[in-house]
Amino acid sequence: MTEACNKADSRPIQRETTMSDNRQWAREAIRIIEADFQRSADTHLIPLPLPGFAGIELYFKDESSHPTGSLKHRLARSLFLYALCNGWLKPGAPVIEASSGSTAISEAYFARMLGLPFVAVMPATTSREKIAQIAFYGGQSHLVDDPTQIYAESERLAREHDGHFIDQFTYAERATDWRANNNIAESIFQQMRFERHPEPSWLISSPGTGGTTATLGRYVRYRQHCTRVLCADAERSVFFDYYQSGDASLRLPHGSRIEGIGRPRVEASFLPKVIDAMVKVPDALSLAAMHYLAERLGRHVGGSSGTNLIGALMAAQQMKAAGESGSIVAILCDGGERYADTYYDQAWLKAQGYELSGLMAAVAASAERGEPLPASVLRANI
């Protein structure tokens, strides 16, 4: 390798370049992304005592502390690096993504960093706060009424504008280096080293693309841990039914009401064979658990974190019944600031038909007294 290739180019990325310069542009783009990573500290691991489960310790991996505020920051960085190394991105050419919001926010951040136009194709029901965040990072939001059409619309926009559809739902599981390189699984195990039970009995994650559960499942197998992975699915999602039936043709006519998780179709990045158990959580119970968790932490969290709390309580109940002690780590996917006008708005909840007080009491009874969650509203394979 020549000295010129080794030396970092301090010039800004140019929007206009010839084909012969594309590799040099990509090299500088990768350096910029890696430099941003080096400036970012790891996310926190927060203990949440469960008085109802003696000998079982619960932790939340707080992904809301990333620069763009969610777990999807890791995915967006991996997707951009993957696309750059595959030669799919070009100077000045737009990047298109199908998203329910959080991934698009993070991708808009990286697109702006590289001087690339960014368009997020999202359901029209996406929260205004997420749309505003995409705009803050210089991205555009292209809203569609039918959530099942975000894929086709993204492909159309990419074709018409000579851009690249980055396609998180296909590439999430392969863009992330699941063996190491500070992926979320490696980070969790590093942070657990000095805890009473350093090897978690369970890791809990809800599926959006399926990429995080794929990374967790692959990593624990590669490192030969005994840790099990539980995937907590949303109510309006096909992943749980696919896990049970193996039918990849499953479809739903609507999108998930828990933003960021649950899909109307089986996505390529969802790998059921690296998951040890699944639960399907009703939306009302996810939101009740979200409010309970927000009270315990003293700050708002997103709806998918409530889904993961239910998964963690199900795992704790299984451990308690088996007479086991140990630790559980669940993912806190994002903060609640993006849901001020929805999940944290009492008028909105009432308009949607959600009555959460009784379910919040059930979540509290489970966490604090070890009582079973209402089995009549849960589906589980654990």
> What are the residue boundaries of the structural domains of the chain, listed by start?
44-67+178-381
Q: Which residue matches tokens 């609507």?
A: 254
**Length in residues, the chain:** 382
From residue 72, give the alpha-carbon distance in Å to each of 39, 182, 283, 348, 357: 17, 15, 21, 26, 30
At residue 347 the predicted structure's pLDDT band, cuts being 50, 70 and 90, is: very high
What's the pLDDT at 12? Answer: 53
pLDDT in tens, 134-170: 999 999 999 999 988 999 999 999 999 999 999 999 9
133 φ/ψ angles, rounded to the nearest 5 degrees: -70, -40
What's the pLDDT at 219? Answer: 96
At residue 57 the predicted structure's pLDDT band, cuts being 50, 70 and 90, is: very high
DSSP state of 371: P
17 has pLDDT over 90:
no
1 has pLDDT over 90:
no
What's the pLDDT at 379? Answer: 81
Mean predicted confidence (pLDDT) in 47-61: 98
Strands, DSSP E only, in the chain? 44-48, 56-62, 95-98, 118-123, 140-144, 164-165, 202-205, 228-234, 277-281, 326-332, 379-381
What's the pLDDT at 2? Answer: 41
Token pair for 22:
């594309």
- Whether residue 61 contacts residue 187, with contact meaning beta carbons closer than 8 Å, is answered with yes
At residue 125 the predicted structure's pLDDT band, cuts being 50, 70 and 90, is: confident
What's the pLDDT at 181? Answer: 73
Residues in a beta bridge with 48: 58
Q: 26: burial class by Cβ within 10 Å (0-12, 13-18, 19+)?
A: buried
Task: Return all residues near 286 (Cβ < 8 A) that are at least 6 apart.
Answer: 234, 235, 258, 303, 304, 306, 307, 310
6 has pLDDT over 90:
no
At residue 227 the predicted structure's pLDDT band, cuts being 50, 70 and 90, is: very high
Pick the CATH number of 44-67+178-381 from 3.40.50.1820, 3.40.50.11900, 1.10.10.10, 3.40.50.1100: 3.40.50.1100
Token pair for 315:
């795992």
User: Average pLDDT of the chain?
Assistant: 92
Residue of 229 and 12 predicted with greater confidence: 229
Within 10 Å of residue 318's Cβ, how many Cβ atoms? 17
- Whether residue 331 contacts residue 183, with contact meaning beta carbons closer than 8 Å, is answered with no
3 state SS of 252: coil
Query: What predicted TM-score, i.e. pTM, was given to this entire model?
Result: 0.90
3 state SS of 203: strand
At residue 101 the predicted structure's pLDDT band, cuts being 50, 70 and 90, is: confident
What's the pLDDT at 145? Answer: 92
Task: Return all residues near 32 (Cβ < 8 A) that are at least 6 apart.
Answer: 13, 113, 114
279 has pLDDT over 50:
yes
Mean predicted confidence (pLDDT) in 108-119: 98
Task: Return all residues near 183 (Cβ < 8 A) that are at least 6 apart.
Answer: 74, 176, 177, 215, 219
Mean predicted confidence (pLDDT) in 282-309: 97
- Could you give the CA distance from residue 314 to residue 372 in angstroms, rounded to a whole number? 8
What's the pLDDT at 83? Answer: 97
